[in-house]
């Protein structure tokens, strides 16, 4: 079975066939950093990281482009409200985005272009559109003429032009030929950043930015364009219109991840239910948060609750518990071959829930092998679990989680616990069970749980 992906533009699951054999060009709409990222942003980051890893596991060389929209109405509004330079707003929040991706084990993109660094490419694209009769300059602005593309505008979002409302992207609606025309370029306003163009000073429109950056790094036609389902219209619809009207083939597969709500409601500052990554890291470790954000199917609507996070944490700890016990008993095992059922699940539109079901079944079999003291079988299951969790960025023994741990006190704790356990073992040997129990209780008070096994005592940090 080859990889199949749901394509929003055709509304079917299609066999993935890249433009160039063995190579994939993938563009994902990244941050508009007017504020720190919430967990919906980070869910998208984790989802496309899993896709990136699976494409590479499948043998593809991937050029992954994730942009930064570092100039936008929202950024300018925050800057004005806080008295902060617009570039400082964008840069400060983008660093928080970057740290969030890193903490959750997301691999870095091949390139992370910023809109402000690609104005020359935007000017070229606008010039092509004006020359082709698909755009026009008016009172310092430049607009895309949707009526020039009327028979195709709305194909991604499955809408008809006659049913669409005004674009609502500029206060200067009188400058438009049609209220539904969208801004490619916005004329300069007092106190706002501006760049020089043949049509006057101003700044780019949101949609223009992504088309220019995607084709700059991936060419006029590329394989995959991704983003949240909320971007289908108008953002991605407008990207398609302006790019194809200019003569570019643009993206061949459109992927969209579902949104994330909180207790059934959309996240909103006004009702105070925005969940940020630091909020989650008070309840779970980074790897557990990654598991939580990855375990639902990428196209599904996901609803955050404290209970659902706790369930995900417990599920991951079952995987982790087996991997660590098995590694202690049979020795560390390098990742082995991927089970066919896991591959089939991942190839079927990135079926992470079904893939994780294979992981948990293998963990169950591995625990049975440990209980039966069948070290060969336990070793095979350990290698299999490490291979599968490695693909998902969840391998408990991976060095990448050491890199995200920050000030990790594990080595210090291990040294102290080792001494305490040795003292406890000595007490047990001389049958001083009161002293043995006292040491165990002291460790428990310090948040360290000791488990006596046929292979000796094991310890772990107490989880809430």
- On whether residue 288 sits in a domain, the answer given is no
Q: Are residues 394 and 431 in the same domain?
A: no
Structurally, the chain folds into a number of domains equal to 3
Q: What is the pLDDT of residues 330-349, one digit of tens each?
A: 988 899 999 999 999 999 99
**Band of pLDDT at residue 457, cut at 50, 70 and 90:** confident
**Band of pLDDT at residue 460, cut at 50, 70 and 90:** low
**What per-residue confidence (pLDDT) applies to 113?**
98
Query: Could you tell me the sign of the dihedral formed by the alpha carbons of 93, 95, 96, 101, in that order?
Result: positive
Query: Could you tell me the sign of the dihedral formed by the alpha carbons of 361, 106, 29, 221, in that order?
Result: negative
The reported pTM is: 0.88
- On whether residue 290 sits in a domain, the answer given is no
Q: What is the pLDDT of residues 125-147, one digit of tens each?
A: 999 999 999 999 999 999 999 99
Q: Are residues 84 and 20 in the same domain?
A: yes
What is the domain range of residue 45? 4-257
- On whether residue 267 sits in a domain, the answer given is no
- On whether residue 174 sits in a domain, the answer given is yes
Is pLDDT at 173 greater than 50 in this prediction?
Answer: yes
Q: Are residues 212 and 125 in the same domain?
A: yes
- Minimal CA–CA distance to 121: which of 310, 248, 295? 248
Q: Which residues pair with 265 in a beta bridge?
A: 262
Q: Are residues 82 and 209 in the same domain?
A: yes
Q: Are residues 310 and 236 in the same domain?
A: no
- On whether residue 362 sits in a domain, the answer given is yes
Q: Are residues 40 and 72 in the same domain?
A: yes
The more confident residue out of 272 and 158 is 158
Q: Are residues 334 and 242 in the same domain?
A: no
**What per-residue confidence (pLDDT) applies to 407?**
45
Q: Find the angle CA(123)-CA(126)-CA(127) to the nearest 5 degrees.
A: 85
- On whether residue 274 sits in a domain, the answer given is no
Place of tokens 């840069």: 91
DSSP H helical segments within 348-409, as ranges?
352-371, 375-391, 399-403
**Band of pLDDT at residue 406, cut at 50, 70 and 90:** very low
Q: What is the mean pLDDT of the chain?
A: 92
**What per-residue confidence (pLDDT) applies to 400?**
82
Is pLDDT at 412 greater than 80 in this prediction?
Answer: no
The set of residues, in sequence order, having a beta carbon less than 8 Å from that of 88 and lying 6+ positions away, is 79
**What per-residue confidence (pLDDT) applies to 411?**
56
From 103-112, 229-238, 269-278, 285-294, the region with the lowest mean pLDDT: 269-278
Count the neighbouring beta carbons within 10 Å of the beta carbon of residue 374: 15
**What per-residue confidence (pLDDT) applies to 35?**
94
Is pLDDT at 261 greater than 90 in this prediction?
Answer: yes
**What per-residue confidence (pLDDT) applies to 343?**
98
- On whether residue 220 sits in a domain, the answer given is yes
């Amino acid at each position: 079975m080859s990889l199949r992906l749901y394509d929003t533009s055709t509304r079917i699951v299609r066999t993935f066939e890249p433009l160039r054999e063995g190579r994939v060009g993938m563009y994902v709409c990244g941050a508009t950093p007017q504020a720190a990222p919430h967990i919906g942003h980070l869910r998208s980051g984790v989802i496309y990281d899993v896709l990136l890893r699976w494409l590479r596991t499948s043998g593809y060389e991937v050029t992954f482009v994730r942009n930064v929209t570092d100039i936008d109405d929202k950024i300018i509004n925050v800057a004005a409200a806080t008295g902060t330079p617009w570039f400082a707003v964008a840069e400060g929040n983008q660093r928080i985005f970057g740290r969030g991706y890193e903490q959750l084990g997301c691999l870095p993109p091949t390139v992370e272009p910023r809109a402000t660094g690609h104005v020359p490419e935007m000017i070229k694209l606008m010039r092509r559109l004006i020359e082709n009769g698909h755009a026009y300059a008016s009172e310092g602005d430049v607009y895309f003429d949707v009526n020039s593309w009327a028979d195709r505008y709305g194909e991604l979002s499955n809408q008809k032009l006659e049913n669409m409302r005004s674009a609502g992207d500029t206060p200067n609606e009188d400058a438009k030929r049609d209220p539904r025309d969208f801004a490619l370029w916005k004329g300069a306003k007092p106190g706002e950043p501006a760049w020089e163009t043949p049509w006057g000073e101003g700044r780019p429109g949101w949609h223009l930015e992504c088309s220019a950056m995607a084709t700059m790094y991936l060419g006029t036609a590329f394989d995959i364009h991704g983003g949240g389902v909320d971007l289908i219209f108008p953002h991605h619809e407008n990207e398609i219109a302006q790019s194809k009207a200019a003569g570019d083939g643009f993206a061949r597969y459109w992927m969209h991840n579902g949104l994330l709500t909180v207790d059934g409601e959309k996240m909103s500052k006004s009702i105070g239910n925005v969940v940020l990554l630091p909020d989650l890291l008070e309840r779970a470790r980074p790897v557990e948060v990654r598991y939580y954000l990855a375990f639902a199917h990428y196209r599904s609507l996901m609803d955050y609750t404290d209970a659902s996070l706790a369930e995900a944490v417990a599920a991951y700890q079952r995987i982790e518990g087996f991997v660590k016990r098995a590694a202690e008993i049979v020795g560390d095992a390098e990742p082995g071959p991927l089970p066919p059922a896991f591959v089939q699940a991942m190839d079927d539109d990135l079926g992470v829930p079904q893939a994780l079901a294979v992981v948990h079944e293998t963990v169950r079999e591995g625990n049975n092998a440990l209980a039966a003291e069948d070290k060969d079988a336990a070793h095979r299951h350990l290698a299999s679990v490490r291979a599968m969790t490695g693909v998902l960025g969840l391998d408990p023994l991976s060095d990448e989680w050491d890199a995200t741990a920050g000030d990790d006190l594990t080595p210090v704790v291990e040294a102290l616990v080792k001494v305490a356990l040795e003292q406890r073992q000595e007490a047990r040997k001389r049958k001083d069970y009161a002293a043995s129990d006292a040491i165990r209780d002291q460790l428990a008070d310090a948040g360290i749980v000791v488990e006596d096994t046929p292979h000796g005592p094991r310890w772990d940090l107490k989880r809430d």
